[in-house]
Chain A
Amino acid sequence: MTQSADRLTSPAKRNGKSALATLASNHYVLTALSAIAFVALWQIVSMNVPPIILPSPAKVAAAFVELTASGELIRATGQTVWPFAVGLSIAFVIGTSLGLVLGIFRPAARILDPYIFIFWSIPNIAWLPLFIAWFGVGQLTLIVFVFVSAVFPQLLTVEAGAKEADSFLVEVARSLGGTKSEILHIVVLPSALPYIFAGLRIAVGRALVGIIVGQLLIVATGIGYMFQFYGETLSLAKYFAPLIVIAALAVALNRAVNWAEHVLIPWKPRAFT
């Protein structure tokens, strides 16, 4: 890692750095500085507009503490995370396995791909009324909606990855005596792994949109409902609390996916670190 960083830094820059420059180049120092700058900017703007437009950071913090202490925010987070996790997990498992199958058995893909593409092209919000008719106003509808939001990007990305397996490596494995299932295990799966993560990254984002939209528009629970309620009642300070939770959740999930990718794919040289 340091090696490639060195390559990108000119010798002149590396030598004769001032203490301040060294401090400023520290990742954590930079992050802290930018956070302070952000809150300061927020404070300045909030002092110059009515609180109905933008509450001050202190008011938002107070509302966050209040909602956490009352248990409302924690309960809502649970109500959101649960159907989100279930729907996303099912989408990941089905999307990945079906994507692999379709990537490898091209005749099956030629039959199914058009349907998958049609379903993928329909904006998922259009499904929501139908799911309510089918599954009622409850958890099941949310789970199905999250699933439908996440499964297609996972499936299509993994399918593309499995299809792209290097035909030369397949030939090498065949020359060594590899059977179909051995080749699947030794060549196709590992070469699809980066695509599995790429798909997951998109799927996580879509599933988050799915759960919030579902709760905001229809099922009236969880974080999504908090947006709707505090938005409609113009309690903006409280509106920001669920927003912070969702942002934290999204960042944490992204970090987790990046970390898993880094651990599970150690064989790739990285162009940028």
Chain B
Amino acid sequence: MPELEFVNVRKSYKSPTGENLLALADFSLKVDGGRFVSVVGPSGCGKTTLLRMAAGLVPWDGGEIRLDGDQLTGPSPKMSMVFQAIGLMPWKSVQSNVALGIQLQAHRRNLTAQETDLVGATLAMVGLKGFEHYYPYQLSGGMQQRVGLARALVRQPEILLMDEPFGALDAQTRAVLQDELLSLWGRVKSTVLFITHDLDEAIYLSDLVVIMGRRPGRIKQVLEVKLPHPRYSYDARAEAGFAHLRSIAWQSIKEEL
């Protein structure tokens, strides 16, 4: 099973006044293959930086990030990232936006018949059958994020990186998409690293909740969520275990605010 590992990763930014701001200091985390791991923490704790480094979008200053034991050097075709702001190309139809996931992975303009089928199947999987030829502006926010999800999944990624993907959606849409994400994860079996500031969301979705302390980012506490999967099949949020974990996590985060 693919695994993602941060080993003593250090990252600093230059502040506008020229001082060095340490965002992450000797950060180490092992995301085991096939697991759903969430990272929560106060804003500015470096959790998004963590994900962007794993996606190969920003360099880091020290330490290593390893994918299946190999050092990561840039965006990897084995990973897909889902963004809060989604980032669909406005000039591409739903279908073309999803196809982009494969085109940029394989560096080919034309898809094989098999890949075209995969695009169709992935769109059906996220519930967008019949919307293939729509443009992004014609879709609701929730549907747009389904496209974003399809664009990531069509690459059949070993690791799915998700940066507050549901943060900009309304509460109902968010709940629906959380359940669908869990159901998709049950089928595609990739490893997920999920960033959120929403504790409930983190507990509901994950096997492991990593709580980060304020800057410079470090791991404060790791909580294991033992609620059985699939969690949408019962009211997992109403379980006593859920409330218990949330109170521990909230206590821990409150100290960092």
Contacts and interface: CB of A to CB of B under 8 A. Distances in A.
A171 B137 contact: no
Given A171-B57, A175-B56, A268-B137, A182 B107 contact: yes
B50 to A, nearest CB: 14
Given A174-B75, A176-B101, A186-B100, A267 B107 contact: no
Interface residues of A, number: 22
Contacts of B91: 190-191, 193, 265, 267
A21 B55 CA distance: 61
Contacts of A182: 103-104, 107
Contacts of A171: 57, 87
Q: What secondary structure prevails in chain A residues at the interface with B? A: helix
Interface string A154-184: 0000000000000011011111111100100
Contacts of B85: 168
Nearest to A265: B91
A169 B90 CA distance: 10
A207 interface: no
B242 interface: no
B57 A178 contact: no
B151 to A, nearest CB: 8
Contacts of B55: 175
A205 to B, nearest CB: 27
B105 interface: yes
B75 A179 contact: no
A266 interface: yes
A191 B76 CA distance: 26
Given A171-B57, A172-B83, A177 B105 contact: yes
A176 B89 contact: no
A65 to B, nearest CB: 48
Most chain B beta-carbon contacts within 10 A, residue among A172, A176, A187: A176
A135 B64 CA distance: 65
B81 interface: yes
Q: What secondary structure prevails in chain B residues at the interface with A? A: loop
A38 to B, nearest CB: 39
B77 A177 contact: yes
B138 to A, nearest CB: 8
A177 B90 contact: no
B135 interface: yes
A269 interface: yes
A100 to B, nearest CB: 16
Nearest to A182: B104
A97 to B, nearest CB: 20
A238 B249 CA distance: 88
Most chain B beta-carbon contacts within 10 A, residue among A171, A191, A265: A171
A168 B91 CA distance: 15
A178 B77 CA distance: 10
A178 B87 contact: no
A174 B87 contact: no
Interface in B24-47: none
Given A176-B101, A176-B104, A169 B137 contact: no
Interface string B110-136: 000000000000000000000000011
A181 to B, nearest CB: 10
B89 A177 contact: no
A237 to B, nearest CB: 50
A268 B104 contact: no
Contacts of B135: 266-267
Interface string B94-107: 00000011011101
Contacts of B83: 168, 172, 175
A190 B89 contact: yes
B59 to A, nearest CB: 13
B8 to A, nearest CB: 24
B71 to A, nearest CB: 17
B107 A177 contact: yes
Nearest to B155: A176
Given A173-B104, A175-B55, A186-B100, A267 B137 contact: yes
Top 10 nearest A-B pairs (CB, nearest first) are: A172-B87, A176-B104, A190-B91, A178-B104, A267-B91, A175-B81, A177-B104, A267-B135, A269-B137, A175-B55
Interface of B: 55-57, 75-77, 80-81, 83, 85, 87, 89-92, 100-101, 103-105, 107, 135-137, 151, 155
Given A171-B87, A173-B104, 14 more contacts: A172-B87, A174-B57, A176-B101, A176-B104, A176-B105, A187-B89, A191-B91, A193-B91, A266-B135, A267-B91, A267-B92, A267-B135, A268-B90, A269-B137
8 contacts: A169-B87, A171-B87, A172-B87, A175-B55, A176-B104, A177-B77, A179-B107, A187-B89
